[in-house]
Chains A and B, each alone.
Chain A
């Protein structure tokens, strides 16, 4: 089954404790992206990747890192999480940037 998976689905952590949210897709897509969703703000793009080893900042990249060492995986790294990073995070993938994006199920992160 074609899908985008994210782990964990739920995470409660404390300020400053490094964490990684994994994202994997099995569709051989080249374009992958991370979004955060906050009430009243819609989805905002954090980082995106056009292909392996090619990543770039989206609209709200501060406090986040990403890597794309393999085509299928695109982890989101929070080196020192802060409470303002409490949000619902979505990973997405597509063949190209203006093709159908397939979203993962989301990761709800709470930073205390």
Chain B
């Protein structure tokens, strides 16, 4: 089945700096890659997603890039703010098996 690896597991940045989280996947049939933000005590919330026919997608301070050849995708957060502090998960939808596979999460801390 699909294997999604996520790095780093923890990330601290100064407020205003950028943060980058990277994920790799193994199944070349995967075609949908969402990113979720999970705040303490809450369920994950979708923040951005990308499909395999697109290389990059941006929504204000958040962007995701996808490299299908290398099988990796990244989340970029610019001008970070303290409220960006949370755990972020990447995921991949695998057609083979019809299910989602999640990365192990990145705990982001934005230092004021």
Chain A positions within 8 Å of B, measured between CB atoms, are 4, 33, 35, 40-45, 48, 50, 56, 58-59, 90, 92, 97-98, 100-101, 103-106
Contact = CB atoms under 8 A, between A and B. Distances in A.
Contacts of A50: 98
A38 to B, nearest CB: 10
A40 B102 CA distance: 11
Main secondary structure of the interface of B (DSSP, over half): strand
B1 interface: yes
Contacts of B44: 43, 90, 103
A45 B99 contact: yes
B89 interface: yes
Best-buried of B43, B46, B93, B99 by chain A (most CB within 10 Å): B43
A40 B104 contact: yes
Contacts of B105: 42
Contacts of B91: 43
Given A33-B100, A43-B100, A100-B46, 10 more contacts: A40-B104, A42-B102, A42-B104, A42-B105, A43-B102, A58-B99, A90-B43, A98-B31, A105-B42, A106-B43
A44 B43 contact: no
A45 B104 CA distance: 13
Given A42-B102, A45-B99, A101 B46 contact: yes
Contacts of B99: 45, 48, 58-59
Contact of A100 (B43, B49, B102, B104): B49
B76 to A, nearest CB: 20
Interface string B19-58: 0000000000001101010000111111001010000000
